Structures are given as C-alpha cells and as structure tokens.
Amino acid sequence: MDMTEQIIQLALFEDSGLGDITTESILPSPRNGKGVIIAKESLVLAGIGVAVKVFALLNPSIVCTSAFKDGEVVQKGEVIFEADGDLLCLLKGERVALNFLQRLSGIATLTRTFVETLSNPKVRLTDTRKTTPGFRILEKEAVRAGGGFNHRYSLYDGILIKDNHIAVAGGIENAVRAVRARASHLMKIEVEVSNMEEVRKAIAADAEVIMLDNMDLDAMKAAVVYIGGRAIVEASGNVSLSTLNAIAATGVDVISCGALTHQARSVDLSMRINPV
C-alpha cells in the first residue's frame, strides 16, 4: 500500500476532485506554464518528494526539479522547487503542494532546533504518535529530515504498556507477563511509569525499556540510578526547548517529544505561476 500516494490523492480530491471552476474558466484550452516555490523564511526542508508526486498525479508530463533535498537548509528568498508543464494542473496542484511542504518543513525545522539545542549527543530525541490523523508517515519522515529519530510508528511495531493497560491488567507485573507470553522475542517491552514504586515493579518484571512519564528532575535522576543500566530509560512529558538539556542531564537514554509534531508551525512559502 502506497500510503503517501493515498494521502496525496485524498488531498487533491478534497481540493479539486469536483473541478476547479476558476482555473477551468480562465483556461478553456491547454497551455503550458512554469511554477516556482520560494522560501519566505529560512527553513529545514521536508516533503520535496511529496510535492513532486502532487504534480505527477495531476499530470505525469509535468517536469519537476529542485536544487535541494529533504534535511537541507533553505534560506529566505531561495527557489525550492520548479515545475514546468500544463498550466491547469499547476494551478490545481499549487495549494496542495504548498500545504504539504509548509507543514512538513515546519516539523523538520522545529526538530532541527531541538536537535541543535540538545547538548548531549548520547541522548536520542524521538517523536511520538501525537501526529495529524492520516499524516503520520509523512510527519515522521519530516522528523528524520530534521535530525530526530522515530519512536514506534504505530501500535503494531513496538510494545508500550501505558497506565491504562496497567489498570486493565491489574498491575505492571500482570501486564508484562501477558505481553511477554504473546510477543515476539525480537521486541523489547517498554513500560510507562510515574513514580519510584512503579519503577521498581517494572524492573522486577524485567522490562527492557522504562518510560519515566511526567516525573520531575530529581525523581528522574533517582530512577536512573536505581535502574542502573538494567533497562533503557526514556523520559517523556513536559519536554520543551527550555527543559530539554535539564532532562538529558538526569542520565536518561531517550527523550520522546510530542511537540516535534503537534506544536510545529507551518513555514511560509509561496508559489508563483506564469504562462510560457
């Protein structure tokens, strides 16, 4: 399943699936033209392949070129992307291509800011599942373009026993036992904890990864000391640019940050289209 193509097709149908009254009235017969997308601010690029596919799905004969790749820095005023071909399709695809590029480059740009702020290279910064519904595959790629790492993609590719699982199972030990009885030996078991009593129970249950959820700095330090390398330690909750390095200094191995996706601001781009 090409999820990216499905996402783009849905976006195109949403915008012009029933036609484009304005453009079709102005262009009753085929004409060629050229469109350029320009950065109106400095940014870290993500989604260039998505933009190319937008126009390719509208008209495979449109020729798209870019001097940049995902993950590269684009300065204000630079031309990110050029598209040559059918004017009708360039005008139909303009907003969809811009929406993808602005959103994904916004995530990559924010992620790069976090990565450059994090002073400890041994600590891995990851995203979460707090993504725009339907956009997860694209937004997680944008996090990687910005220099971050991905946490589990979905519920099928990583085990994370959270507070509600623990409540349903009747405790951490029961939850871990039930998961271990079914899960592949290739998968690590991660348990979310919020206090030292739960840390001790997770260690006793032989959890391979322990997520310290919304714990204060002193509690995280104490947890890291107690765990003593017996499990990978992840910090989650209250992660911001101002708290990032203090959290890293507690000795955790991973910091997961939902803000990379749900707090990212779309960057400012524009597209200029002219007839040839």
Query: Does 95 participate in catalysis according to the annotation?
Result: yes
Neighbours of 259 (CB within 10 A): 16
Catalytic residue among 190, 213, 234, 253: 213
Contact of 68 with 47, CB cutoff 8 Å: no
Report residue 96 as tokens.
């969809």
Catalytic residue among 86, 139, 190, 192: 192
Calpha distance 251→254 (Å, rounded): 9
Calpha distance 172→177 (Å, rounded): 8
Query: Does 157 participate in catalysis according to the annotation?
Result: no
Secondary structure class of 165 (helix, strand, coil): helix
Catalytic residue among 95, 144, 152, 221: 95
Contact of 155 with 179, CB cutoff 8 Å: no
Q: Could you tell me the CA-to-CA distances from 189 to 12, 125, 148, 196 in Å, in that order?
A: 40, 19, 22, 18
Closest CA relative to residue 260, chosen from 154, 103, 120, 134: 103
Quick one: residue 19, left, alpha or beta (phi over 0 = left, psi -120 to 50 = alpha)?
Answer: left
Query: Does 24 participate in catalysis according to the annotation?
Result: no
Cα torsion at 150, 73, 47, 65 (round to 10°)? Answer: -150
Catalytic residue among 162, 177, 188, 230: 162
Query: Does 162 participate in catalysis according to the annotation?
Result: yes
Query: Does 213 participate in catalysis according to the annotation?
Result: yes
Neighbours of 43 (CB within 10 A): 24
Residues noted as catalytic: 95, 130, 162, 192, 213
